[in-house]
Amino acid sequence: MSKEKGNAERNVTLIIKILEKLRYISPSLPYKYLQLTNNTIRNEERFTEFWWRMIQEGRMSLTIREAFNIYYYLTKSLPLGGSIAEVGVYKGGGAKLISEFKSDLTLHLFDTFEGMPEVNSAVDLHLKGDFSDTTLESVQRYLKSYSNIHFHKGIFPNSSKDLPKNIQFCFVHLDVDIYESTLSGLNFFYPRLKEGGVIISHDYNSISCPGVKKAYDEFFVDKNEDVFFLWDTQCMIRKR
């Protein structure tokens, strides 16, 4: 890579990181604006009421549209039965969204709770140790009012070894930001996904997470399912 191109990529990454941080300083104005522009979201009172509580708690790292996508396809998948999973929990914002709407199905949550594992620097822009400002105990406290939640601390997929051999999933949220973890998630969950079940992944189209798209595009090249892009950065597959 030329020196100029390397500098340009670093600048883009820096700008994205600054924009991501700004969202935490005053999230309510942009979110209020976004909410008013979308009829579908505005009409789902269960979701919007929950969203305002989430904003005040300050742990949500998804945009309102991304959170709505999870709410919508999660609730559509519940009648299939089986389990639900999220890989990449961090402080528990997405996990709380899933917990709120999962009914009594079992939710499996996977994270190191100590930040990113080793990354592949030829593909990934994140660094080992990013997202380390969280703990398993704080997320457990945050989600304590919900039932049927299992925490799996450690590096995925090793941390999945205690799951029942015949487990099946109706809905999976992958939010791991890097190539190897995304590929591990697809290798593990795709064969265990029920027919009609959904995998949504964050950051498929994020400039700061190029490994996610690479993993998806490689994995689904010989599968029956198409990978659908969703706003803002997510993608989704539905098992045939």
Ligand X SMILES: C[S@@+](CC[C@H](N)C(=O)[O-])C[C@H]1O[C@@H](n2cnc3c(N)ncnc32)[C@H](O)[C@@H]1O
Site residues, ligand X (CB under 6 A): 61-62, 88-91, 93-94, 110-112, 115-117, 131, 155-156, 175-178, 181
**Least distance (Å) between residue 4 CB and ligand X:** 29
Encoded tokens for 64: 């309102």
Would you tell me how many other CB atoms lie within 10 Å of the CB of residue 163? 18
CB of 117 to ligand X, least distance (A): 5
> Considering beta carbons, is residue 131 or 169 the nearer one to ligand X?
131
Residue in the block written with tokens 């990529």: 9
Nearer to ligand X by Cβ, of 175 and 192: the residue is 175
Query: What's the min distance (Å) between Cβ of 130 and ligand X?
Result: 7
For 91-111, give the DSSP string.
TSHHHHHHHHHSTT--EEEEE
- Indicate the residue among 137 and 226 with the shorter CB distance to ligand X: 137
Minimal CB distance to ligand X: which residue? 94
Q: Which is nearer to ligand X, 82 or 117 (by Cβ)?
A: 117
Minimum separation from the CB atom of position 167 to ligand X (A): 18
Residues with Cβ within 8 Å of 114's Cβ and at least 6 positions away in sequence, in order, are 132
Residue 173 pairs with which residues in a beta bridge?
A: 86, 200
Say how far apart CA 93 and CA 18 lie, in whole Å: 20
